[in-house]
Amino acid sequence: IVSVFVAFLSFVVVPWSDLKFDDIKQAQKTRTEFDTLTPGRFQSFGTGGRITYTEKLSPDRKRLENVFISQRSMQNSGNDSDVTILVAESGTQYLDENTGSRFLLLENGYRYNGIPGKTDYNVTRYDQYGVKIPKPAEVQSRTKSELKTSKALFNSDNPEDIAQLQWRVSVPLMVLIVTLIAVPLSRVNPRQGRYTRLLPSIFMYLTYLGILTTSRTAVEEGNLAPYIGLWWVHLLFFSIGLALLGNLHKKLPWYQK
């Protein structure tokens, strides 16, 4: 029952959840800073280099009122940070159809530029001032095997897809084989400590998992034939489980009689 449940998670739930999580990440990458702007809050963008504030924001998110923008950049020489501060009564977003770039057109405001702690600030009053909105990061095509459905993996001859499919099969298969190994390892002599075989059991499980992971990487890189793949690891530890189980059977009282 546990193995069937784990198989359902491995073949259906985990790929689905990975895909949904990746959808959220992709959606975040395609949004500009003004798509996430919240009225009445100072928000940091561009790894903390730019801080933006607006008192009000129209429902279509294109018109801002009482705007504040602080942009920090390092000087070419020295370690001083050059700071540009823009304040405006209002701002409107628009798209340049020729270049595809988005701009924020600020109206009736001031531009302050200089180095904090020094007095040589440049102050400029403007009627209109255009601020280019950085383009969102380009969304890369999603070809990760982890995001593909199990059906798509079955119909693929890509080494990475084959390795991923074998890994999904391996997870529920491990449950059965590890259980087979755990039964004989769980029996200890009454005179021995209860946890005598706990450490060897953990070591055997980690070895099993480590060899599986290494074999998966070898299949992905084309260094191991897919028909060998991860199956030899399961066969090896299944044989170990049978040997341990056979050895346990010989020690049982009814076998000795």
The mean pLDDT of 7-15, rounded to a whole number, is 91
The mean predicted confidence, pLDDT, of the chain is 81
What's the pLDDT at 71? Answer: 84
Contact by Cβ (8 Å): 153, 146: no
What pLDDT does residue 75 have? 53
Tell whether the model's pLDDT for residue 150 goes beyond 90.
no
Confidence of residue 209 (pLDDT cuts 50, 70, 90): very high
Radius of gyration of the chain (CA): 31
In terms of average pLDDT, the best of 159-163, 188-192, 249-253 is 159-163
Mean pLDDT score, 244-252: 67
CA–centroid distance for 216 within its chain: 20
Tell me the helix, strand and coil percentages in the chain, rounded to 5.
Answer: 45, 25, 30
Q: What is the mean pLDDT of residues 199-204?
A: 84
Asked whether residue 59 carries a pLDDT value surpassing 60, the answer given is yes
How many CA atoms does the CB half-sphere of 98 hold within 13 Å? Answer: 0
What CA–CA distance (Å, rounded) separates 214 from 96? 51
DSSP 172: H
Q: What is the mean pLDDT of residues 234-252?
A: 79
Contact 133, 93 (CB under 8 A): yes
Share of the chain above pLDDT 70, in %: 79
Q: Of 14-28, 100-114, 211-225, which gets the smallest average pLDDT?
A: 14-28
How many Cβ atoms are within 10 Å of 63's Cβ, its own excluded? Answer: 14
